[in-house]
């Protein structure tokens, strides 16, 4: 996009200055062992997961700096679904789903599964040490 604006400025003999309004969002990096543990725990609660390639499986990067966090701290970023697709955040149909039983379940499962995952990581000394050692170094794919 910037090249288009630069070409337009060049073609009209004008100068172009682009100022970054906010820090860029870094690529999110899942900590795969934590993600696997989360999937086990969420699955035990009855949660299912979209298959790779399914649009529901894509990470929503809108308005989150979790990618920046994941570059420094081992992380996952689970987003329990509420069965609202194709409606998504900020749509009236999504709000109706969120205010119902599926929304209530997502809140409970969305707190329980990560808590169980943290407990699993804390209880496994090798996993705990590996995660703690990686907290101040860039995450690896």
Q: Is residue 76 part of a domain?
A: yes
Average pLDDT over residues 26-52: 91
For residue 4, give every residue at least 6 positions away whose Cβ sits within 8 Å of its Cβ, in sequence order, or none: none
Q: Is residue 16 part of a domain?
A: no
pLDDT at 59: 59
Instruction: Tell me which residue has tokens 């996993």.
Output: 127
Distance CA 105, CA 116 (A): 16
The 8-class DSSP code of residue 52 comes to: T
Whole-model pTM? 0.74
Weakest-pLDDT range from 48-57, 79-88, 94-103: 48-57
Q: Is residue 79 part of a domain?
A: yes
Task: Check pLDDT > 70 for residue 63.
Answer: no
Average pLDDT over residues 77-97: 90
Q: Is residue 6 part of a domain?
A: no
Q: Is residue 17 part of a domain?
A: no
State how many domains the chain has. 1
Q: Is residue 127 part of a domain?
A: yes
Q: Is residue 88 part of a domain?
A: yes
Q: Are 16 and 5 in contact (CB under 8 A)?
A: yes
pLDDT at 62: 58
- Kindly list the distances between the CA atom of residue 101 and the CA atoms of 49, 82, 89, 97, in Å, as whole numbers in the listed order: 19, 9, 17, 8
Task: Check pLDDT > 80 for residue 117.
Answer: yes
Domain hosting residue 126, numbered range: 25-133
Average pLDDT over residues 65-91: 89
Q: Is residue 64 part of a domain?
A: yes
């Amino acid at each position: 996009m910037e090249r288009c604006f630069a070409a337009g400025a060049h073609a009209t003999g004008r100068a172009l200055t682009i100022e970054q309004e906010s820090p860029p969002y870094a690529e999110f990096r899942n900590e795969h062992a934590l993600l696997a543990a989360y999937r086990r725990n969420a699955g035990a609660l009855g949660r299912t997961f979209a298959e790779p390639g399914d649009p529901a499986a894509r990470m929503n990067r809108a308005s989150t700096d979790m990618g920046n966090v994941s570059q420094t701290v081992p992380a996952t970023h689970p987003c329990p679904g509420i069965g609202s697709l194709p409606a998504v955040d900020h749509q009236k149909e999504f709000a109706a789903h969120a205010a119902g039983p599926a929304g209530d379940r997502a809140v409970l499962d969305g707190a329980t599964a990560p808590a169980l995952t943290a407990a699993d990581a804390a209880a496994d000394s090798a996993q705990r040490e590996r995660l703690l050692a990686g907290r101040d170094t860039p995450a690896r794919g």
